[in-house]
Amino acid sequence: MALLFLSDVDSARDWRKELAKHLPDLEMRVWPELGDPGEIDAALVWRPPAGLWNRLPNLKLIASLGAGVDHIFADPSLPPGVPIVRLVDPYMTTAMSEYVQLQVLRLHRNDPVYRTQQQARVWRPWPQPNAAERRVGVLGLGVLGRDAASKLEVLGFDVAGWSRREKRLPGIPSFHGAAGLDALLRRSEILVCLLPLTPATENLLDTRLFARLPRGAAIINCGRGRHLVQADLLAALDSGALSAAVLDVFRDEPLPPQHPFWRHERILVTPHVAASTNPPTAALAVADNLRRLRDGKPLRNRVDGSERY
């Protein structure tokens, strides 16, 4: 079996070593060295260049190097019928929940306010509710969203979640559909976005959505940069509709040095680090699906092409 590896970070050596532990006979080719393209059975990719799929006539599997698959669907040359699998790795799930817990706690404990006050040398305590009095909403109840919501609930927060279709989480109210989204937004003082990026969710975080949150709410976006309408966020922060934003993902990455997000006192920027891919653990999931492909068994975490997640 021949695998094409393509990433925007220099991780090919680590992936080759880790995959060899599980599939010693796997031939891994690193982009742009294709060899004979007709021999390539599977591709493990992050942000593949447009037109790549046209060069791989016998491709049988596309695997994402991250939890999202929007970068794969961005290419209109994507061949119909070739299965796509997303990366589900317990290490990444735990990392994402750590990030969400950290940022919710920072917002809950007024850290952005105190950082600003420190710069101005202002000594002023602010009222501090208990976690049980703080309502947190989680957009997206997939693997990452379910885990994050459950761990926030363990910390004592009043957590609820939303998904397109009905899902049930023990001890956590769950909303779904358009009416359910309105209900979740009305109660969410801190809103966490962990949605997949699809045509239905692009630009979801906009002025209309912010207006349905309680005034002074805060948002955390660790889904995708294209979920957020950037100008609408800046306007909402400047008007007081929102009090703060934590952003880990952006339309352009790296975030350009001149971007206003860097300078805004109520925005915290992190460089897409909420849940980085970890080859030693992620290789287990990738190798499992490569074996399943070889043996003709059902693939795990297969993406619904019509839903794009």
Which residue among the candidates 108, 164, 224, 308 is catalytic per the annotation?
224
Is position 224 annotated as part of the catalytic site?
yes
Distance CA 138, CA 66 (A): 20
DSSP-derived secondary structure letter, 155: T
The amino acid occupying position 208 is: R
Which residue of the set 16, 176, 272, 291 is catalytic? 272
The tokens for 280 are: 């030693």
**Amino acid occupying residue 226:** R
The CA-CA-CA angle for residues 278, 283, 285, to 5°, reads: 110
**71 labelled catalytic:** no
Half-sphere exposure of 102 (CA within 13 A, CB side): 15
26 in Cβ contact with 43 (< 8 Å): no
* The pair of three-digit structure tokens given for residue 250, joined into one six-digit string: 């952006």
> Are residues 227 and 202 in contact, defined by beta-carbon separation less than 8 angstroms?
yes
Q: How far apart are CA 145 and CA 88, in angstroms?
A: 12
Residue 309 · residue 91 · CB < 8 Å: no
The set of residues, in sequence order, having a beta carbon less than 8 Å from that of 258 and lying 6+ positions away, is none
Q: For residue 273, which of 86, 66, 14 has the smallest C-alpha distance?
A: 66
Just list the catalytic residues.
224, 272
